[in-house]
Protein backbone atom coordinates (compact mmCIF):
# COMPACT_ATOMS: atom_id res chain seq x y z
CA UNK A 1 0.00 0.00 0.00
CA UNK A 2 2.84 2.31 0.98
CA UNK A 3 4.60 1.46 -2.27
CA UNK A 4 1.54 2.35 -4.35
CA UNK A 5 1.18 5.72 -2.68
CA UNK A 6 4.85 6.44 -3.33
CA UNK A 7 4.52 5.74 -7.06
CA UNK A 8 1.47 7.97 -7.38
CA UNK A 9 3.28 10.83 -5.66
CA UNK A 10 6.34 10.43 -7.92
CA UNK A 11 4.16 10.55 -11.08
CA UNK A 12 2.40 13.65 -9.94
CA UNK A 13 5.71 15.35 -9.17
CA UNK A 14 7.17 14.39 -12.61
CA UNK A 15 4.03 15.73 -14.30
CA UNK A 16 4.30 19.02 -12.54
CA UNK A 17 8.03 19.35 -13.31
CA UNK A 18 7.34 18.52 -16.98
CA UNK A 19 4.59 21.13 -17.12
CA UNK A 20 6.88 23.74 -15.62
CA UNK A 21 9.59 22.88 -18.14
CA UNK A 22 7.18 23.11 -21.04
CA UNK A 23 5.88 26.43 -19.80
CA UNK A 24 9.45 27.63 -19.36
CA UNK A 25 10.36 26.61 -22.94
CA UNK A 26 7.32 28.39 -24.34
CA UNK A 27 8.17 31.51 -22.39
CA UNK A 28 11.74 31.44 -23.60
CA UNK A 29 10.57 30.92 -27.20
CA UNK A 30 8.11 33.79 -26.96
CA UNK A 31 10.78 35.99 -25.45
CA UNK A 32 13.17 35.08 -28.27
CA UNK A 33 10.59 35.85 -30.94
CA UNK A 34 9.71 39.18 -29.41
CA UNK A 35 13.36 40.10 -29.12
CA UNK A 36 14.71 38.99 -32.59
CA UNK A 37 11.79 39.52 -34.99
CA UNK A 38 11.40 42.88 -36.85
CA UNK A 39 8.49 44.90 -35.56
CA UNK A 40 6.69 45.09 -38.94
CA UNK A 41 6.53 41.37 -39.59
CA UNK A 42 3.22 39.61 -39.23
CA UNK A 43 4.76 36.21 -39.72
CA UNK A 44 8.28 35.80 -38.35
CA UNK A 45 8.81 32.52 -40.12
CA UNK A 46 7.92 33.85 -43.55
CA UNK A 47 9.61 37.18 -43.04
CA UNK A 48 13.01 35.43 -42.77
CA UNK A 49 12.44 32.67 -45.29
CA UNK A 50 10.93 34.47 -48.33
CA UNK A 51 11.75 37.76 -50.11
CA UNK A 52 9.19 40.43 -49.42
CA UNK A 53 7.17 41.99 -52.30
CA UNK A 54 7.91 45.66 -52.89
CA UNK A 55 6.07 48.37 -54.74
CA UNK A 56 7.27 47.10 -58.14
CA UNK A 57 6.25 43.50 -57.67
CA UNK A 58 3.42 42.68 -60.06
CA UNK A 59 1.84 40.01 -57.90
CA UNK A 60 1.18 42.38 -55.01
CA UNK A 61 -0.42 45.11 -57.00
CA UNK A 62 2.42 47.60 -56.54
CA UNK A 63 2.30 50.65 -58.75
CA UNK A 64 5.89 51.70 -58.95
CA UNK A 65 8.38 53.83 -56.99
CA UNK A 66 7.04 56.73 -55.06
CA UNK A 67 3.50 55.33 -54.78
CA UNK A 68 2.68 54.12 -51.29
CA UNK A 69 -1.08 53.84 -51.45
CA UNK A 70 -3.84 53.42 -53.95
CA UNK A 71 -5.11 50.29 -55.62
CA UNK A 72 -3.01 47.46 -54.25
CA UNK A 73 -1.35 49.83 -51.84
CA UNK A 74 -0.87 47.23 -49.11
CA UNK A 75 2.44 46.07 -50.50
CA UNK A 76 3.57 49.67 -50.85
CA UNK A 77 2.69 50.43 -47.22
CA UNK A 78 4.65 47.42 -46.04
CA UNK A 79 7.62 48.43 -48.13
CA UNK A 80 7.50 51.90 -46.62
CA UNK A 81 7.50 50.43 -43.14
CA UNK A 82 10.33 48.12 -44.03
CA UNK A 83 12.44 50.98 -45.36
CA UNK A 84 11.76 53.23 -42.40
CA UNK A 85 12.64 50.72 -39.72
CA UNK A 86 14.19 47.34 -39.08
CA UNK A 87 17.76 46.11 -38.96
CA UNK A 88 20.14 47.27 -41.73
CA UNK A 89 21.14 43.69 -42.65
CA UNK A 90 17.58 42.62 -43.37
CA UNK A 91 17.03 45.74 -45.50
CA UNK A 92 20.05 45.09 -47.75
CA UNK A 93 19.12 41.43 -48.06
CA UNK A 94 15.57 42.30 -49.16
CA UNK A 95 16.83 44.89 -51.68
CA UNK A 96 19.20 42.33 -53.19
CA UNK A 97 16.39 39.81 -53.59
CA UNK A 98 14.19 42.43 -55.29
CA UNK A 99 16.99 43.39 -57.71
CA UNK A 100 17.62 39.75 -58.65
CA UNK A 101 13.92 39.18 -59.14
CA UNK A 102 13.67 42.22 -61.45
CA UNK A 103 16.66 41.03 -63.51
CA UNK A 104 15.11 37.60 -63.95
CA UNK A 105 11.78 39.13 -64.94
CA UNK A 106 13.41 41.34 -67.60
CA UNK A 107 15.48 38.43 -68.93
CA UNK A 108 12.36 36.24 -69.24
CA UNK A 109 10.54 39.03 -71.07
CA UNK A 110 13.45 39.42 -73.52
CA UNK A 111 13.54 35.69 -74.17
CA UNK A 112 9.81 35.66 -74.88
CA UNK A 113 10.21 38.45 -77.45
CA UNK A 114 13.08 36.64 -79.18
CA UNK A 115 11.07 33.41 -79.32
CA UNK A 116 8.13 35.26 -80.88
CA UNK A 117 10.39 36.84 -83.51
CA UNK A 118 11.99 33.50 -84.36
CA UNK A 119 8.56 31.90 -84.73
CA UNK A 120 7.45 34.67 -87.09
CA UNK A 121 10.60 34.40 -89.21
CA UNK A 122 10.32 30.59 -89.30
CA UNK A 123 6.69 30.79 -90.41
CA UNK A 124 7.59 33.25 -93.20
CA UNK A 125 10.44 31.05 -94.42
CA UNK A 126 8.18 28.00 -94.31
CA UNK A 127 5.58 29.73 -96.47
CA UNK A 128 8.24 30.75 -99.00
CA UNK A 129 9.61 27.21 -99.11
CA UNK A 130 6.14 25.74 -99.55
CA UNK A 131 5.44 28.14 -102.40
CA UNK A 132 8.62 27.05 -104.19
CA UNK A 133 7.83 23.39 -103.58
CA UNK A 134 4.31 23.79 -104.96
CA UNK A 135 5.67 25.52 -108.07
CA UNK A 136 8.13 22.69 -108.61
CA UNK A 137 5.39 20.08 -108.06
CA UNK A 138 3.07 21.79 -110.54
CA UNK A 139 5.88 22.01 -113.08
CA UNK A 140 6.64 18.30 -112.62
CA UNK A 141 3.00 17.24 -112.45
CA UNK A 142 3.36 16.16 -108.83
CA UNK A 143 0.74 16.29 -106.07
CA UNK A 144 -0.38 19.61 -104.71
CA UNK A 145 0.35 20.78 -101.21
CA UNK A 146 -1.80 19.15 -98.58
CA UNK A 147 -2.01 15.69 -100.21
CA UNK A 148 0.79 14.33 -98.10
CA UNK A 149 1.81 15.49 -94.65
CA UNK A 150 5.40 16.28 -93.74
CA UNK A 151 7.10 13.95 -91.28
CA UNK A 152 8.28 16.79 -89.09
CA UNK A 153 5.04 18.74 -88.81
CA UNK A 154 3.43 18.56 -85.37
CA UNK A 155 1.19 20.55 -83.06
CA UNK A 156 0.78 24.19 -84.11
CA UNK A 157 2.94 23.70 -87.24
CA UNK A 158 0.10 21.90 -89.00
CA UNK A 159 -2.28 24.76 -88.26
CA UNK A 160 0.21 27.30 -89.61
CA UNK A 161 0.70 25.25 -92.77
CA UNK A 162 -3.05 25.10 -93.31
CA UNK A 163 -3.31 28.86 -92.80
CA UNK A 164 -0.54 29.51 -95.31
CA UNK A 165 -2.22 27.20 -97.81
CA UNK A 166 -5.53 29.01 -97.34
CA UNK A 167 -3.88 32.39 -97.90
CA UNK A 168 -2.15 31.18 -101.06
CA UNK A 169 -5.40 29.72 -102.37
CA UNK A 170 -7.17 33.01 -101.75
CA UNK A 171 -4.42 34.86 -103.63
CA UNK A 172 -4.65 32.52 -106.60
CA UNK A 173 -8.42 32.88 -106.70
CA UNK A 174 -8.06 36.66 -106.65
CA UNK A 175 -5.57 36.65 -109.53
CA UNK A 176 -7.82 34.35 -111.56
CA UNK A 177 -10.76 36.64 -110.91
CA UNK A 178 -8.72 39.61 -112.16
CA UNK A 179 -7.92 37.65 -115.32
CA UNK A 180 -11.55 36.66 -115.86
CA UNK A 181 -12.80 40.23 -115.40
CA UNK A 182 -10.27 41.73 -117.82
CA UNK A 183 -10.82 41.84 -121.60
CA UNK A 184 -8.38 39.06 -122.41
CA UNK A 185 -10.35 36.17 -123.88
CA UNK A 186 -13.63 37.98 -124.57
CA UNK A 187 -14.91 41.50 -124.99
CA UNK A 188 -17.28 43.35 -122.69
CA UNK A 189 -20.20 45.59 -123.47
CA UNK A 190 -19.15 49.25 -123.57
CA UNK A 191 -21.44 52.30 -123.62
CA UNK A 192 -19.58 54.28 -126.32
CA UNK A 193 -16.34 54.67 -128.23
CA UNK A 194 -14.96 56.85 -125.42
CA UNK A 195 -14.96 53.90 -123.02
CA UNK A 196 -12.47 51.88 -125.10
CA UNK A 197 -9.02 51.33 -123.62
CA UNK A 198 -6.71 51.42 -126.67
CA UNK A 199 -3.62 49.28 -127.09
CA UNK A 200 -0.10 50.55 -127.62
CA UNK A 201 2.16 48.67 -130.00
CA UNK A 202 5.90 48.15 -129.51
CA UNK A 203 8.96 46.56 -131.06
CA UNK A 204 12.42 45.91 -129.66
CA UNK A 205 13.43 49.56 -129.95
CA UNK A 206 10.26 51.62 -130.34
CA UNK A 207 6.89 52.25 -128.71
CA UNK A 208 3.96 53.47 -130.82
CA UNK A 209 1.52 55.36 -128.64
CA UNK A 210 -1.70 57.32 -128.98
CA UNK A 211 -1.63 59.58 -125.94
CA UNK A 212 1.14 62.06 -126.70
CA UNK A 213 0.15 65.52 -125.48
CA UNK A 214 2.52 68.20 -126.74
CA UNK A 215 5.78 66.65 -125.50
CA UNK A 216 5.71 62.97 -126.42
CA UNK A 217 6.09 61.55 -129.91
CA UNK A 218 3.94 59.04 -131.83
CA UNK A 219 7.04 56.85 -132.19
CA UNK A 220 9.77 56.95 -129.59
CA UNK A 221 12.13 54.89 -127.51
CA UNK A 222 10.77 54.01 -124.07
CA UNK A 223 12.35 56.83 -122.09
CA UNK A 224 11.08 55.99 -118.64
CA UNK A 225 13.13 53.37 -116.83
CA UNK A 226 10.05 51.53 -115.51
CA UNK A 227 8.65 51.24 -119.04
CA UNK A 228 11.92 49.80 -120.38
CA UNK A 229 12.15 47.30 -117.55
CA UNK A 230 8.49 46.35 -117.94
CA UNK A 231 8.80 45.54 -121.66
CA UNK A 232 12.16 43.86 -121.11
CA UNK A 233 10.66 41.57 -118.45
CA UNK A 234 7.74 40.70 -120.71
CA UNK A 235 10.03 39.84 -123.63
CA UNK A 236 12.30 37.79 -121.37
CA UNK A 237 9.40 35.75 -119.99
CA UNK A 238 7.99 35.21 -123.50
CA UNK A 239 11.34 33.90 -124.77
CA UNK A 240 11.71 31.69 -121.69
CA UNK A 241 8.26 30.24 -122.33
CA UNK A 242 9.03 29.58 -125.98
CA UNK A 243 12.39 27.95 -125.25
CA UNK A 244 11.28 25.86 -122.26
CA UNK A 245 11.19 22.17 -123.24
CA UNK A 246 7.81 20.49 -122.88
CA UNK A 247 6.28 17.27 -124.13
CA UNK A 248 3.19 19.03 -125.41
CA UNK A 249 2.76 22.56 -126.73
CA UNK A 250 -0.27 24.71 -126.05
CA UNK A 251 -2.52 25.13 -129.04
CA UNK A 252 -1.50 22.02 -130.90
CA UNK A 253 -3.91 19.66 -132.50
CA UNK A 254 -5.17 16.57 -130.74
CA UNK A 255 -2.72 14.45 -132.70
CA UNK A 256 0.12 16.53 -131.31
CA UNK A 257 3.57 17.32 -132.58
CA UNK A 258 6.93 17.00 -130.95
CA UNK A 259 8.59 20.23 -129.94
CA UNK A 260 11.03 21.66 -132.46
CA UNK A 261 14.62 22.39 -131.65
CA UNK A 262 14.46 26.06 -132.68
CA UNK A 263 15.81 28.43 -130.07
CA UNK A 264 13.94 31.73 -130.10
CA UNK A 265 15.89 34.96 -129.64
CA UNK A 266 14.96 38.66 -129.48
CA UNK A 267 15.59 38.92 -133.23
CA UNK A 268 12.55 36.65 -133.78
CA UNK A 269 10.28 39.15 -132.06
CA UNK A 270 8.14 41.07 -134.57
CA UNK A 271 5.87 43.29 -132.53
CA UNK A 272 3.56 43.36 -129.55
CA UNK A 273 0.57 45.23 -128.27
CA UNK A 274 -0.24 46.16 -124.69
CA UNK A 275 -2.85 47.99 -122.69
CA UNK A 276 -3.63 48.49 -119.02
CA UNK A 277 -7.04 48.28 -117.44
CA UNK A 278 -6.30 50.22 -114.32
CA UNK A 279 -8.60 48.21 -112.07
CA UNK A 280 -7.52 44.79 -113.34
CA UNK A 281 -4.04 44.59 -114.84
CA UNK A 282 -1.92 44.83 -117.99
CA UNK A 283 -2.36 42.64 -121.07
CA UNK A 284 0.49 41.82 -123.46
CA UNK A 285 0.28 40.03 -126.81
CA UNK A 286 3.64 39.27 -128.43
CA UNK A 287 4.21 37.89 -131.94
CA UNK A 288 7.36 36.00 -132.98
CA UNK A 289 8.47 34.54 -136.29
CA UNK A 290 7.74 30.84 -136.52
CA UNK A 291 9.56 28.00 -138.21
CA UNK A 292 8.31 28.81 -141.71
CA UNK A 293 7.51 31.92 -143.68
CA UNK A 294 3.82 31.99 -142.89
CA UNK A 295 3.97 30.63 -139.35
CA UNK A 296 4.03 32.77 -136.23
CA UNK A 297 4.13 32.21 -132.48
CA UNK A 298 1.92 34.38 -130.32
CA UNK A 299 2.10 34.63 -126.54
CA UNK A 300 -0.52 36.28 -124.38
CA UNK A 301 0.65 37.45 -120.96
CA UNK A 302 -1.31 39.19 -118.23
CA UNK A 303 -0.01 41.06 -115.19
CA UNK A 304 -2.85 41.33 -112.63
CA UNK A 305 -0.99 43.99 -110.68
CA UNK A 306 1.34 41.22 -109.57
CA UNK A 307 3.39 38.45 -111.17
CA UNK A 308 2.94 37.76 -114.89
CA UNK A 309 0.54 34.96 -115.77
CA UNK A 310 0.89 32.99 -118.98
CA UNK A 311 -2.53 32.87 -120.62
CA UNK A 312 -1.73 31.14 -123.89
CA UNK A 313 1.19 29.86 -125.89
CA UNK A 314 -0.19 29.03 -129.29
CA UNK A 315 1.02 28.39 -132.81
CA UNK A 316 -0.70 30.60 -135.40
CA UNK A 317 -0.49 29.51 -139.04
CA UNK A 318 -1.59 32.26 -141.44
CA UNK A 319 -0.78 30.48 -144.69
CA UNK A 320 -4.45 29.65 -145.32
CA UNK A 321 -5.93 32.99 -144.28
CA UNK A 322 -6.68 35.09 -147.36
CA UNK A 323 -7.80 38.70 -147.04
CA UNK A 324 -10.53 40.27 -149.15
CA UNK A 325 -9.64 43.97 -149.46
CA UNK A 326 -12.76 46.00 -150.28
CA UNK A 327 -12.33 49.49 -151.73
CA UNK A 328 -15.32 51.78 -152.49
CA UNK A 329 -14.54 54.28 -155.23
CA UNK A 330 -16.06 57.16 -157.18
CA UNK A 331 -13.87 58.85 -159.81
CA UNK A 332 -10.38 59.68 -158.33
CA UNK A 333 -8.70 57.49 -160.95
CA UNK A 334 -5.28 59.05 -160.34
CA UNK A 335 -5.40 58.04 -156.69
CA UNK A 336 -6.59 54.57 -157.72
CA UNK A 337 -3.55 54.12 -160.00
CA UNK A 338 -1.29 55.06 -157.08
CA UNK A 339 -3.16 52.60 -154.87
CA UNK A 340 -2.74 49.80 -157.41
CA UNK A 341 0.98 50.50 -157.64
CA UNK A 342 1.32 49.80 -153.89
CA UNK A 343 -1.12 46.89 -154.14
CA UNK A 344 0.95 45.26 -156.86
CA UNK A 345 4.16 45.54 -154.82
CA UNK A 346 2.78 44.45 -151.45
CA UNK A 347 -0.20 42.17 -152.10
CA UNK A 348 0.86 40.44 -155.31
CA UNK A 349 4.64 40.20 -155.06
CA UNK A 350 5.12 39.94 -151.28
CA UNK A 351 1.96 38.43 -149.77
CA UNK A 352 0.00 36.74 -152.61
CA UNK A 353 -2.93 35.77 -150.31
CA UNK A 354 -5.19 38.68 -151.13
CA UNK A 355 -8.39 39.20 -153.10
CA UNK A 356 -9.33 42.73 -154.23
CA UNK A 357 -12.94 43.90 -154.49
CA UNK A 358 -13.55 47.34 -156.01
CA UNK A 359 -17.06 48.79 -155.73
CA UNK A 360 -17.38 51.68 -158.18
CA UNK A 361 -20.18 54.26 -158.06
CA UNK A 362 -21.38 55.78 -161.31
CA UNK A 363 -20.31 55.38 -164.91
CA UNK A 364 -17.91 58.28 -165.33
CA UNK A 365 -14.25 57.09 -165.50
CA UNK A 366 -15.41 53.50 -165.07
CA UNK A 367 -13.45 52.47 -168.12
CA UNK A 368 -10.23 53.84 -166.65
CA UNK A 369 -10.68 51.86 -163.48
CA UNK A 370 -11.34 48.67 -165.42
CA UNK A 371 -8.29 49.32 -167.60
CA UNK A 372 -6.06 49.79 -164.56
CA UNK A 373 -7.21 46.46 -163.11
CA UNK A 374 -6.77 44.63 -166.38
CA UNK A 375 -3.26 46.01 -166.91
CA UNK A 376 -2.24 44.92 -163.41
CA UNK A 377 -3.72 41.48 -164.00
CA UNK A 378 -1.85 41.08 -167.24
CA UNK A 379 1.50 42.42 -166.05
CA UNK A 380 1.80 40.43 -162.79
CA UNK A 381 -0.59 37.57 -163.59
CA UNK A 382 -3.07 38.58 -160.91
CA UNK A 383 -6.61 37.21 -161.28
CA UNK A 384 -8.01 37.54 -157.75
CA UNK A 385 -10.08 40.68 -158.14
CA UNK A 386 -13.73 41.63 -158.52
CA UNK A 387 -15.10 44.86 -159.99
CA UNK A 388 -18.65 45.79 -159.00
CA UNK A 389 -20.53 48.80 -160.36
CA UNK A 390 -23.38 50.65 -158.64
CA UNK A 391 -25.23 53.26 -160.62
CA UNK A 392 -26.15 55.41 -157.65
CA UNK A 393 -24.90 58.19 -155.39
CA UNK A 394 -21.65 57.45 -153.62
CA UNK A 395 -21.98 56.00 -150.12
CA UNK A 396 -18.93 54.47 -148.49
CA UNK A 397 -21.00 52.29 -146.15
CA UNK A 398 -23.16 51.07 -149.03
CA UNK A 399 -20.12 50.17 -151.12
CA UNK A 400 -18.39 48.23 -148.34
CA UNK A 401 -21.63 46.44 -147.46
CA UNK A 402 -22.17 45.38 -151.08
CA UNK A 403 -18.57 44.24 -151.43
CA UNK A 404 -18.71 42.15 -148.25
CA UNK A 405 -21.97 40.43 -149.15
CA UNK A 406 -20.87 39.73 -152.74
CA UNK A 407 -18.21 37.25 -151.54
CA UNK A 408 -19.40 33.67 -152.05
CA UNK A 409 -16.31 31.73 -150.98
CA UNK A 410 -17.27 31.08 -147.35
CA UNK A 411 -16.08 32.94 -144.29
CA UNK A 412 -13.25 35.28 -145.27
CA UNK A 413 -11.24 37.95 -143.51
CA UNK A 414 -12.32 41.41 -144.71
CA UNK A 415 -10.19 44.55 -144.77
CA UNK A 416 -12.22 47.70 -145.39
CA UNK A 417 -9.87 50.12 -147.13
CA UNK A 418 -9.85 53.46 -148.95
CA UNK A 419 -8.08 54.48 -152.12
CA UNK A 420 -5.79 56.93 -150.30
CA UNK A 421 -4.42 54.27 -147.90
CA UNK A 422 -0.88 52.88 -148.05
CA UNK A 423 -0.18 49.61 -146.21
CA UNK A 424 2.71 47.21 -145.88
CA UNK A 425 2.97 43.41 -145.93
CA UNK A 426 3.56 43.47 -142.17
CA UNK A 427 0.21 45.14 -141.71
CA UNK A 428 -1.55 42.33 -143.57
CA UNK A 429 -0.08 39.83 -141.10
CA UNK A 430 -1.11 42.08 -138.20
CA UNK A 431 -4.62 42.06 -139.64
CA UNK A 432 -4.62 38.25 -139.66
CA UNK A 433 -3.17 37.91 -136.16
CA UNK A 434 -5.56 40.33 -134.45
CA UNK A 435 -8.82 38.90 -135.76
CA UNK A 436 -10.64 35.71 -134.95
CA UNK A 437 -14.13 34.73 -136.12
CA UNK A 438 -16.69 35.06 -133.38
CA UNK A 439 -14.13 36.46 -130.93
CA UNK A 440 -12.05 39.42 -132.12
CA UNK A 441 -12.17 42.31 -134.60
CA UNK A 442 -9.27 44.65 -135.35
CA UNK A 443 -9.58 48.42 -135.54
CA UNK A 444 -6.07 49.70 -136.33
CA UNK A 445 -5.16 53.33 -135.72
CA UNK A 446 -3.41 54.49 -138.88
CA UNK A 447 -0.75 57.19 -139.17
CA UNK A 448 -2.16 60.16 -141.06
CA UNK A 449 0.23 62.18 -143.19
CA UNK A 450 0.38 65.98 -143.08
CA UNK A 451 0.47 68.15 -146.18
CA UNK A 452 3.88 67.34 -147.73
CA UNK A 453 4.16 70.83 -149.19
CA UNK A 454 4.11 72.32 -145.70
CA UNK A 455 6.40 69.64 -144.26
CA UNK A 456 9.13 69.96 -146.87
CA UNK A 457 8.71 73.68 -147.65
CA UNK A 458 7.67 73.57 -151.29
CA UNK A 459 6.33 71.09 -153.89
CA UNK A 460 9.79 70.87 -155.47
CA UNK A 461 11.31 69.36 -152.32
CA UNK A 462 8.66 66.67 -151.72
CA UNK A 463 10.29 63.18 -151.97
CA UNK A 464 8.59 60.04 -153.39
CA UNK A 465 5.71 58.57 -151.40
CA UNK A 466 7.76 55.68 -149.98
CA UNK A 467 10.25 58.17 -148.44
CA UNK A 468 7.46 60.27 -146.93
CA UNK A 469 6.20 57.43 -144.74
CA UNK A 470 8.09 58.39 -141.60
CA UNK A 471 6.39 58.28 -138.21
CA UNK A 472 7.43 61.58 -136.63
CA UNK A 473 5.67 64.35 -134.80
CA UNK A 474 6.12 66.82 -137.67
CA UNK A 475 5.15 64.41 -140.46
CA UNK A 476 1.76 63.19 -139.22
CA UNK A 477 -0.36 61.95 -136.33
CA UNK A 478 -2.18 58.85 -135.13
CA UNK A 479 -5.69 59.16 -136.52
CA UNK A 480 -7.38 57.95 -133.37
CA UNK A 481 -10.70 59.60 -134.27
CA UNK A 482 -11.09 57.53 -137.45
CA UNK A 483 -12.67 54.07 -137.56
CA UNK A 484 -12.93 53.45 -141.29
CA UNK A 485 -10.05 51.00 -141.72
CA UNK A 486 -10.95 47.75 -140.02
CA UNK A 487 -10.35 44.00 -140.21
CA UNK A 488 -13.09 41.50 -139.34
CA UNK A 489 -14.41 38.22 -140.60
CA UNK A 490 -17.38 38.26 -142.90
CA UNK A 491 -19.47 36.18 -140.49
CA UNK A 492 -19.02 38.77 -137.74
CA UNK A 493 -19.86 41.60 -140.11
CA UNK A 494 -23.07 39.88 -141.25
CA UNK A 495 -24.11 38.88 -137.72
CA UNK A 496 -23.59 42.39 -136.36
CA UNK A 497 -25.91 43.82 -139.02
CA UNK A 498 -23.41 45.49 -141.36
CA UNK A 499 -23.36 49.21 -142.16
CA UNK A 500 -26.18 51.69 -141.90
CA UNK A 501 -26.74 52.09 -145.64
CA UNK A 502 -29.03 55.08 -145.13
CA UNK A 503 -25.96 57.27 -144.44
CA UNK A 504 -24.96 59.05 -147.66
CA UNK A 505 -21.72 60.74 -148.62
CA UNK A 506 -18.73 61.11 -146.31
CA UNK A 507 -18.39 59.96 -142.69
CA UNK A 508 -20.56 58.53 -139.98
CA UNK A 509 -21.04 54.97 -141.20
CA UNK A 510 -17.76 53.74 -139.69
CA UNK A 511 -18.63 55.04 -136.22
CA UNK A 512 -22.01 53.29 -136.30
CA UNK A 513 -20.39 49.95 -137.17
CA UNK A 514 -17.71 50.48 -134.53
CA UNK A 515 -20.34 51.08 -131.86
CA UNK A 516 -22.15 47.90 -132.86
CA UNK A 517 -19.02 45.89 -132.16
CA UNK A 518 -18.50 47.70 -128.85
CA UNK A 519 -22.03 46.83 -127.77
CA UNK A 520 -21.43 43.15 -128.58
CA UNK A 521 -19.37 40.54 -126.73
CA UNK A 522 -16.62 40.57 -129.35
CA UNK A 523 -13.19 41.75 -128.31
CA UNK A 524 -12.29 44.98 -130.12
CA UNK A 525 -8.53 45.33 -130.61
CA UNK A 526 -7.72 49.03 -130.99
CA UNK A 527 -4.02 49.69 -131.51
CA UNK A 528 -1.74 51.94 -133.60
CA UNK A 529 -0.37 50.16 -136.64
CA UNK A 530 3.08 51.13 -137.92
CA UNK A 531 2.33 49.65 -141.34
CA UNK A 532 -0.85 51.58 -142.19
CA UNK A 533 -0.74 55.16 -143.54
CA UNK A 534 -3.26 57.69 -144.75
CA UNK A 535 -1.77 59.69 -147.63
CA UNK A 536 -2.50 63.38 -147.58
CA UNK A 537 -4.94 64.77 -150.11
CA UNK A 538 -6.89 67.97 -150.26
CA UNK A 539 -10.27 67.43 -148.71
CA UNK A 540 -13.43 68.97 -150.11
CA UNK A 541 -16.40 69.30 -147.76
CA UNK A 542 -19.54 69.57 -149.87
CA UNK A 543 -22.19 72.12 -148.95
CA UNK A 544 -24.86 69.46 -149.33
CA UNK A 545 -23.66 67.56 -146.29
CA UNK A 546 -25.80 67.67 -143.11
CA UNK A 547 -24.44 69.92 -140.32
CA UNK A 548 -22.96 67.09 -138.23
CA UNK A 549 -21.20 65.49 -141.21
CA UNK A 550 -19.96 68.86 -142.47
CA UNK A 551 -18.50 69.63 -139.04
CA UNK A 552 -16.73 66.26 -138.92
CA UNK A 553 -15.36 66.85 -142.42
CA UNK A 554 -13.97 70.29 -141.51
CA UNK A 555 -12.39 68.97 -138.32
CA UNK A 556 -10.70 66.22 -140.30
CA UNK A 557 -9.52 68.76 -142.86
CA UNK A 558 -7.95 70.97 -140.18
CA UNK A 559 -6.27 68.01 -138.48
CA UNK A 560 -4.81 66.75 -141.76
CA UNK A 561 -3.05 69.95 -142.76
CA UNK A 562 -0.08 70.31 -140.40
CA UNK A 563 1.15 69.82 -136.86
CA UNK A 564 0.41 72.14 -133.98
CA UNK A 565 3.72 73.95 -134.35
CA UNK A 566 3.48 74.20 -138.13
CA UNK A 567 -0.04 75.63 -137.98
CA UNK A 568 1.20 78.13 -135.40
CA UNK A 569 3.98 79.25 -137.75
CA UNK A 570 1.44 79.68 -140.54
CA UNK A 571 -0.90 81.64 -138.29
CA UNK A 572 1.87 84.01 -137.19
CA UNK A 573 3.53 84.23 -140.62
CA UNK A 574 2.87 87.95 -141.04
CA UNK A 575 4.24 88.74 -137.59
CA UNK A 576 7.35 86.68 -138.30
CA UNK A 577 7.90 88.36 -141.68
CA UNK A 578 7.46 91.83 -140.10
CA UNK A 579 10.07 90.90 -137.48
CA UNK A 580 12.52 89.79 -140.17
CA UNK A 581 11.99 93.03 -142.14
CA UNK A 582 12.60 95.09 -139.00
CA UNK A 583 15.81 93.22 -138.27
CA UNK A 584 17.01 93.80 -141.84
CA UNK A 585 16.27 97.53 -141.64
CA UNK A 586 18.22 97.84 -138.40
CA UNK A 587 21.19 96.10 -139.96
CA UNK A 588 21.06 98.43 -142.99
CA UNK A 589 20.79 101.57 -140.79
CA UNK A 590 23.84 100.53 -138.75
CA UNK A 591 26.67 99.97 -141.27
CA UNK A 592 29.68 98.05 -140.15
CA UNK A 593 32.36 100.06 -138.45
CA UNK A 594 35.66 100.17 -140.26
- The DSSP code sequence of 163-221 is HHHHHHHHHHHHHHHHHHHSSSSS----SSGGG----EEE-SS-EE-S--TTTS-SEE-
**pTM of the predicted model as reported, rounded to 2 decimal places:** 0.63
Name residues whose C-beta falls within 8 Å of residue 532's C-beta, 6 or more positions apart in sequence. Answer: 421, 422, 423, 424, 427, 444, 446, 447, 485
3-state percent helix, strand, coil for the chain, nearest multiple of 5 = 45, 15, 35
Average pLDDT, the chain: 79
Q: What percent of the chain has pLDDT over 90?
A: 39
- Alpha-carbon gap, residue 94 to 51, rounded angstroms: 6
89 versus 428: the higher-pLDDT residue is 428
Answer yes or no: is pLDDT of 270 > 90: yes
Per-residue confidence at 371, pLDDT binned at 50, 70, 90?
very high
What does the pLDDT average to over 333-348? 94
Q: How far is CA 53 from the centre of its chain?
A: 64
What does the pLDDT average to over 347-373? 95
Name residues whose C-beta falls within 8 Å of residue 576's C-beta, 6 or more positions apart in sequence. Answer: 569
How far is the CA of 427 from the CAs of 312, 423, 526, in angstroms?
Answer: 23, 6, 14
101 versus 522: the higher-pLDDT residue is 522
Low-confidence winner among 3-17, 403-417, 550-564 (lowest mean pLDDT)? 3-17
- Alpha-carbon gap, residue 50 to 53, rounded angstroms: 9
Among 279-293, 354-368, 530-544, 561-575, the range with the most confident prediction by mean pLDDT is: 354-368
pLDDT confidence of residue 564: 80
- Alpha-carbon gap, residue 187 to 260, rounded angstroms: 34
Q: How far is CA 331 from the centre of its chain?
A: 48
In DSSP notation, 5-27 reads HHHHHHHHHHHHHHHHHHHHHHH
Half-sphere exposure of 430 (CA within 13 A, CB side): 27
Per-residue confidence at 148, pLDDT binned at 50, 70, 90?
very low
How far is the CA of 338 from the CAs of 21, 333, 460, 535, in angstroms?
Answer: 143, 9, 19, 11
Amino acid sequence: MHTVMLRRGLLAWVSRVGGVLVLLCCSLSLLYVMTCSPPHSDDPMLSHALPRAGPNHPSMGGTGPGIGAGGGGTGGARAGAFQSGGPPGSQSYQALLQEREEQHRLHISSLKKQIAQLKEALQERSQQLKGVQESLKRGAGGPAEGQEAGAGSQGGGLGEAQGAKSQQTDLQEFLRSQLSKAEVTAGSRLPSEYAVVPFESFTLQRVYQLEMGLTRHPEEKPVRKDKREELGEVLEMALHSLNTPSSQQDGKSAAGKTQTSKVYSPSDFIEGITRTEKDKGTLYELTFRGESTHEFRRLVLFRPFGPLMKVRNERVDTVNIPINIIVPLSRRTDKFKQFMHNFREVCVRQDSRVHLTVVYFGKEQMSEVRSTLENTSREVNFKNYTLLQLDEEFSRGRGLDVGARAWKGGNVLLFFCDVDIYFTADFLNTCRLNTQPGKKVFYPVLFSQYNPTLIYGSPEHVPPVEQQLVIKKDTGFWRDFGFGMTCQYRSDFINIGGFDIDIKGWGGEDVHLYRKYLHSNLLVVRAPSRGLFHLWHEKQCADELPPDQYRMCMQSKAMNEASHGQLGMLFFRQEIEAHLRKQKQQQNSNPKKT
